[in-house]
Amino acid sequence: MANLPISGIGAPILVILVILSLVSITIILVKTLQLFKALKGKDRRANALKAFETSGAAVAKDRLKSQDTPADRVAAIALDELAANRTAGLETTLEIAGNTEAQSAFRHIRTLETIAMISPLLGLLGTVLGMIQAFRDLEMAEGAANAALLAGGIWQALLTTAAGLIVALPAAAGAALLAARAEAAVSEIEATIARILAIAKETAKK
């Protein structure tokens, strides 16, 4: 803490903001890697569902191959159930699988949103406390303090507000972009489930 560009009351808040920044960066990197390929494989799934419609669930499962996206994993579960003729409760099974994938996709995004919300407030709190300390030091100096002393206290106080904004901006942007990606992945899951159930119902009528 002695090496920080700010001392006194604002120093602990600056430490907290640094920790929040590290947490935010870690979440953004991890979620980006997780969601990067979440929307891939549309052509592969389309081919698998076409095979399901014409040749059955077992053939479609072989066509699906990779299961590295949320929609692929849910489709694989559905095709496994259908290949084994376990149609009773299929919708419930797929709903549970879809919800599990959705929770995984959105996990920790709320943490990013929270960091984006509280970081500016923490920075503002540090500034207010720093200003209180600066004027208290001025009062204790009983008129002997010069303008440079007061200015030094003020800029150190304002530093926490700047730090809070620096932490909040990438966290807010990351949360918004990752949430959009997660929502798109969930939409793809829902579309895949709807398509599989529709094909299963048409097949059952034949």
Domain that holds residue 53: 10-201
CA 110 to each of CA 14, 17, 35, 88, 169: distance values in angstroms, whole numbers, following the listed order: 22, 17, 15, 35, 15
User: Is 109 within the bounds of a domain?
Assistant: yes
Q: Where are the alpha helices (DSSP H) in the chain?
A: 10-35, 42-55, 57-64, 70-83, 90-106, 109-140, 147-205
Q: Look at the block and give the residue holding tokens 């799934």.
A: 45
> Residue 57: left (phi > 0), alpha (psi -120 to 50), or beta?
alpha
User: Is 4 within the bounds of a domain?
Assistant: no
Q: Look at the block and give the residue holding tokens 């376990």.
A: 86
Q: What is the pTM of this model?
A: 0.81
135-157 burial, b at 16+ Cβ within 10 Å, e below that, comes to eeebeeeeeeeeeeeeeebeebb
Asked whether 78 and 59 are in contact (CB, 8 A), the reply is no
Q: Rounded to the nearest 5 degrees, what angle is found at the Cα of 75, between the Cα atoms of 69 and 81?
A: 140
Q: How many independent structural domains does the chain possess? A: 1
Rg (CA), the chain: 27
User: Is 206 within the bounds of a domain?
Assistant: no
Q: What is the pLDDT of residue 141?
A: 64
Taking only the tens of pLDDT, the chain with its 206 residues reads: 445 555 566 788 889 999 999 999 999 999 999 898 888 888 888 888 888 888 888 888 887 777 778 988 898 888 888 888 887 888 889 999 999 999 999 999 999 999 999 999 999 998 888 888 777 777 676 656 566 666 666 777 788 899 999 999 999 999 999 999 999 999 999 998 898 888 888 776 66
User: Is 196 within the bounds of a domain?
Assistant: yes
